[in-house]
Structure 1
Amino acid sequence: MANHLYEGKVYSLPYTIDLNALMYYNEALFEEVGLEFPTTWEELLHAIEVFKENGIIPIALGNKDQWLVPTGWLSNLVALIGGPEFMNDLCFGDAKYTDEPYIEALKALKQLVDVGAFNSDFNSIDNYQMYGLYGLGRTAIFSAGSWAASTLPESIPAEISAVTRVTVMPTYPNGKGELNTVAGGSGWGVNINSTLEGSKREAAIRLMKALSDRSFATALIEIANMPPAVSGAEYDTSSVPAIFNEIMEVQEKAIVTPVFDQVIHPELIDEMNKTTQAVMAGNMTPEVAAQRMQNIKDRLARTR
């Protein structure tokens, strides 16, 4: 509910939950090189080298529009490094972007660039082109949110979709976040126009209740392939893509932590998108990027 509160008051009701930093991978390629999906950062770095030696792109990425890395990779890495408590304090409290977890997360992203984890044009293609690159069958991994379950089967060949699995981001060395820590939340909600009166207000309340019950949650799963905010919804597993059932299994075990662009100030989001891309391109240091973020956070706090 954190994404739907303002100064402690509920302003909307969530109807779906996204897990923003899932790891989608080609199981057949992992079997081809004799690896299982990594659960630690060290194992991920090793897998990257093995894939490169075998002429396979380790990780597909399409960050042309700047938002994909901050909403997924960066949000998750900060929580894995600093722990869920730090991530919450950074988003909602007094923790600083200049603190070690945020800077280290940016360094981790630059490390992936430096070891050749991504396609060379990762800052020039968008997320849909990323799906297309993965769909060629010689890319091992890509990271995206649970929303990919509804678009992926239509974006890649059936034979690649059939060997695609989904899991969580590996843990980070000496990080405070456990395996199954996943950046996610509810970025979509519904509310009632406060000016409504009489029968219109009553109808709006009935609609809100309908959008919050398990029957709507079931429809949301079976028709839209979207994880619902309501727990306990039953659905026909054969009516959704196989990958969606795996996402639901991940969600059951997930330790969900905030997503930056769902909860922080728009000015901070814009700066984060720009500076993260600049760090990964080698045009800015993590320390400078972090200081620019903190300068904005401090200024916003003074004018609150």
Structure 2
Amino acid sequence: MIPHRAGAAGALALLLFTATACGGDAGSQDSGDGEMNIMMYQDSLAVVQENAVERFNQNNEATAAMNQVAPDGYEDKLRTVMGSGQAPDMFFNWGGGSIEPYVEQEMLLPLGATLQENPEMQDAFIPSILEAGKINDTQYGIPLRGTQPKMIFYNEKVFEEAGVEPPETWEDIQNLIDTFKEEGVTPFALGGATPWADLMWMEYLVARIGGHDVFQQIANGDSAGWKDPAILEAAQIIQDMVKNGAFGDSYASVSAADGSASALLADGQAAMHLMGSWEFSTQLADAPEFAKNDLGYVAFPAMPDGEGNAQAVVGNPTNYFSITDDGDTDAAVEFLKQTYSDEYVKDMVENGEVPTTTGAEEMLDEAPNPDFARFQYAMVRDAPTFQLSWDQALPRSVAEPMVTEIEKLFNQQVTPEEFVDNVAALQ
């Protein structure tokens, strides 16, 4: 499974569905005894939502039933139930393109009025995270999980042996590429066999060169945004990096999904790795001594003369709860208040997540890795914008061929100019 996104499993989706908590069909608005139905992504972190359901049921007249769906089948199952007339009252999602079709069909409850009526909910979350839960400036998602910004991880031992410091500027990046090539070390690990890893470079370069609004225009449905000069410049930089050996010679056959790219960093074969914050957990599981002693991390640097804010972040702001428009909306809104309660936030921290609530910082000392948790939290808290990963922000009909075009760009199968023309033609 791709760490930052559930994949689709087509016909297997229904077979992978698993019900937990109070049971029932994931799509039923009424599970038989008036329970509000919550459709949830099934993974180890869902225990936080399970505990929230238990507290909600103990303290409210309304009751909730949470039904979990296996990761590989989640998006297909959601599409099935949303189109069947048996939609859940509330469901887990990634925001952006994952819910845009339901917004267009007016199936979701706009939450602007809910935030106005409950100002403590509005104030409970980091503004850039709440903003990322909007579609066309209308709020449809309330944060339910931790944040996953993307950043540069580096091997401190490799840096020490080369006598260099972690990068603070784009010039530093260029100099480090040359230094590590001379040392016989691949400057950047890259899992090019899983092209969403390639995408991270395009996301940050465009954000730093042209600013947040460049991709936001595209995400809002205006394909003319692909013709912005920042897109072409980013594509040119990427191919220059490839030709200069920034990613080594075998990146196209290295996988990010199976941990191979991360292993290059841990083994000292690569010096740096642009990846989501889940890289820390990956290294802690696969190379615990490296993670504890030699794994460093820094934000992606500013670009010379770039128009983008150097503190802007790309990645996965969080996951969201959205409410269907014809379900038990009152109970669902009441349940949303769980997501910023002290008990909920404490559960998140203890399970290794970095919460997106404004008051979470004081709890981070209890995190499994307090220093990294505080770094992430400060990075997200101070970000003026948090751009959702492009493959999640766009509808699938655009996202999938876009990722293919980015893979072709990295593999030098198209020129930067051809790349721009190809993605601009996507509908």
What CA deviation, in whole Å up to 9, does each residue of 1:263-298 have, x standing for no partner? Answer: 2222221122111111111110111111111112xx
Query: Match for residue 292 of structure 1?
Result: 422
Distance 1:115 1:205 in 2: 53
Query: Match for residue 359 of structure 2?
Result: 232
Q: Among 222, 230, 239, which residue is 1:110 paired with?
A: 239
Query: Match for residue 176 of structure 2?
Result: 47
Per the alignment, do residues 281 and 144 of structure 1 end up closer, same or farther by CA in structure 2, a change over 3 Å counting? same
Query: Match for residue 341 of structure 2?
Result: 213
What CA deviation, in whole Å up to 9, does each residue of 1:145-201 have, x standing for no partner? Answer: 12223332112241354221111112223211243332134352113344444xxx6
Paired residues of 2:147 and 2:317 also in contact (CA < 8 A): yes
Q: Structure 1-normalised TM-score?
A: 0.86
What CA deviation, in whole Å up to 9, does each residue of 1:220-252 have, x standing for no partner? Answer: 1221x2222222113242532243332223323
Distance 1:186 1:252 in 2: 11
Distance 2:333 2:381 in 1: 30
Query: Match for residue 265 of structure 2?
Result: 134
Paired residues of 2:170 and 2:302 also in contact (CA < 8 A): yes
Per the alignment, do residues 238 and 3 of structure 1 end up closer, same or farther by CA in structure 2, a change over 3 Å counting? closer
Query: Match for residue 122 of structure 1?
Result: 251
* Residue segments in structure 1 that go unaligned for 5+ positions in a row: none
Query: Match for residue 65 of structure 2?
Result: none
Query: Match for residue 92 of structure 1?
Result: 220
Distance 1:236 1:168 in 2: 20
Distance 1:32 1:255 in 2: 36
Per the alignment, do residues 129 and 203 of structure 1 end up closer, same or farther by CA in structure 2, a change over 3 Å counting? same
Q: CA RMSD in A?
A: 2.3
Per the alignment, do residues 204 and 90 of structure 1 end up closer, same or farther by CA in structure 2, a change over 3 Å counting? closer
Q: Which moved more, 1:210-219 or 1:78-87?
A: 210-219
The structure whose RCO (Cα within 8 Å, separation 6+) is larger is 1
Q: Secondary structure at the match of 2:363?
A: coil
* Shift in Å, 1:3: 4.0
Query: Match for residue 146 of structure 1?
Result: 277
Query: Match for residue 275 of structure 1?
Result: 405
Q: Among 306, 331, 343, which residue is 1:175 paired with?
A: 306
Distance 1:93 1:133 in 2: 38
Distance 2:215 2:409 in 1: 20
Query: Match for residue 193 of structure 2?
Result: 64
Larger Rg: 2
Distance 1:179 1:4 in 2: 22
Q: Secondary structure at the match of 2:253?
A: coil
Paired residues of 1:14 and 1:189 also in contact (CA < 8 A): yes
* Residue segments in structure 2 that go unaligned for 5+ positions in a row: 1-129
The amino acid that maps onto 2:358 is S
Query: Match for residue 156 of structure 1?
Result: 287
Q: Structure 2-normalised TM-score?
A: 0.63
Per the alignment, do residues 111 and 277 of structure 1 end up closer, same or farther by CA in structure 2, a change over 3 Å counting? same
Distance 1:65 1:163 in 2: 26
* Shift in Å, 1:7: 4.5
